[in-house]
Amino acid sequence: MKNVIVRKGAGFSLVLLLMAIGEGEASVIFSDNFTSGPSPLWGNENGSWTSSGGVYYATAPNNSPNAYSSVPYSLRDFSVDFDINDVSDGGVFLRATPVPGSPLGVKGILLNLKVPDGGSRLYWHIFYDGTNASPPLNVVYLDYGTTIHVHVEVAGDTYSAFINGSADPAIVLTTSAFSTGRVALYDFSGQTFSNFVLEKPQPSLFIRMDADAAVISWSTDFPEYVLQTTSDLSLTSGWSSFAGPYASTGGSYQFRLPLLNILHKQFFRLSARY
């Protein structure tokens, strides 16, 4: 996990010169190459998923309920990469939530890649709940081959899928149907998945000096982060948290630290509560 750190020096004038640290760079929060079996973090909700020879697959593919396996992170903005081997019918759920016992088993946005009954293509489904789903949306026919690399970016209301390393999205969907959720692999065929990597942008941390307090802020796009502080970076376990909930205004969380409480030397970071 990347830490975003701001230092306050001996005088408050140094704080006034501080700028934002970082620009929201992405960092890997989960990856799995399946060479030693699947990570225990996989949910294996439906489809009896397993792995062998560095690939992951459902032993009981299905679409009612959907055969899917998710990782336990509720995310807003993120990117995910994976390979599909012998692509036939399957893909990835985005901002998904399990709906146990329902006909579909899950709700969220599905990117599906399919070859049978019409040729190689990709499209979206919106699974509104565990019972109702849209027809295929924004269908794109594309000769992507039998073993392909998929890169998906989710930002705000926009979902973009890139195929085989292309810099241009092959397909895009815009919807406000879901604000957060899990990432889950989906299979309705005999295809397999490999080289799974999930990344999330990291928040930038800002600080300003008011007359009576240091005001530390970060984007409300990152509700899963907690603000922490230490006076000594050499102590890896010396970080303490400022408990929320945090005040928010204008799209930013804000935490006010009275000047009387600021230490001679102090560091701040945001730490994810996954």
Is the pLDDT assigned to residue 258 strictly greater than 60? yes
Q: What is the pLDDT of residue 262?
A: 74
Residues 148 and 19 in one domain: no
Q: What is the pLDDT of residue 176?
A: 97
Question: What CATH number does residue 129 fall under?
Answer: 2.60.120.560
* Lookup: tokens for 112: 């599906």
Nearest to 111 by CA among 63, 79, 159: 159
Q: Which of 201, 232, 249 is the last residue of a domain?
A: 201
Q: Which of 139, 167, 201 is the last residue of a domain?
A: 201
Residues 116 and 167 in one domain: yes
- Taking the CA atoms of 35, 100, 80 and 245 in sequence, report the sign of the dihedral they define: negative
Q: What is the pLDDT of residue 272?
A: 81
Q: What is the pLDDT of residue 231?
A: 84
Residues 50 and 109 in one domain: yes
Which structural domain range is residue 100 located in?
26-201
Q: What is the pLDDT of residues 4-52, one digit of tens each?
A: 444 444 444 333 323 333 345 788 999 999 999 999 999 999 999 999 9
Residues 47 and 157 in one domain: yes
Mean pLDDT of 203-222: 90
Residues 38 and 77 in one domain: yes
| Percentage above 90 pLDDT, the chain | 73
Q: What is the pLDDT of residues 145-190, one digit of tens each?
A: 999 999 999 999 999 999 999 999 999 999 999 999 999 999 999 9
| Percentage above 70 pLDDT, the chain | 90
Is the pLDDT assigned to residue 103 strictly greater than 80? yes
Residues 226 and 244 in one domain: yes
Residues 122 and 215 in one domain: no
Phi and psi torsions of 262, nearest 5°: -80, 135
Q: Which of 177, 201, 225 is the last residue of a domain?
A: 201
Residues 192 and 209 in one domain: no
Q: What is the pLDDT of residue 242?
A: 92
Q: What is the pLDDT of residue 259?
A: 84
Helix (H) or strand (E) holding 173: strand 171-174
Q: What is the pLDDT of residue 175?
A: 98
Q: What is the pLDDT of residue 74?
A: 92
**How many domains is the chain partitioned into structurally?**
2
Residue 1 falls inside a structural domain: no
Residues 133 and 255 in one domain: no
Is the pLDDT assigned to residue 208 strictly greater than 60? yes
Residues 190 and 267 in one domain: no
Q: What is the pLDDT of residues 108-148, one digit of tens each?
A: 999 999 999 999 999 999 999 999 999 999 999 999 999 99
* Lookup: tokens for 136: 């295929």
For residues 32 and 196, the answer to whether their CB atoms sit within 8 Å is: yes
CB atoms within 10 A of CB 18: 17
Residue 110 falls inside a structural domain: yes
Residues 55 and 117 in one domain: yes
Q: What is the pLDDT of residue 11?
A: 43
Residues 166 and 264 in one domain: no
d(CA 75, CA 94): 9
Q: What is the pLDDT of residue 271?
A: 87
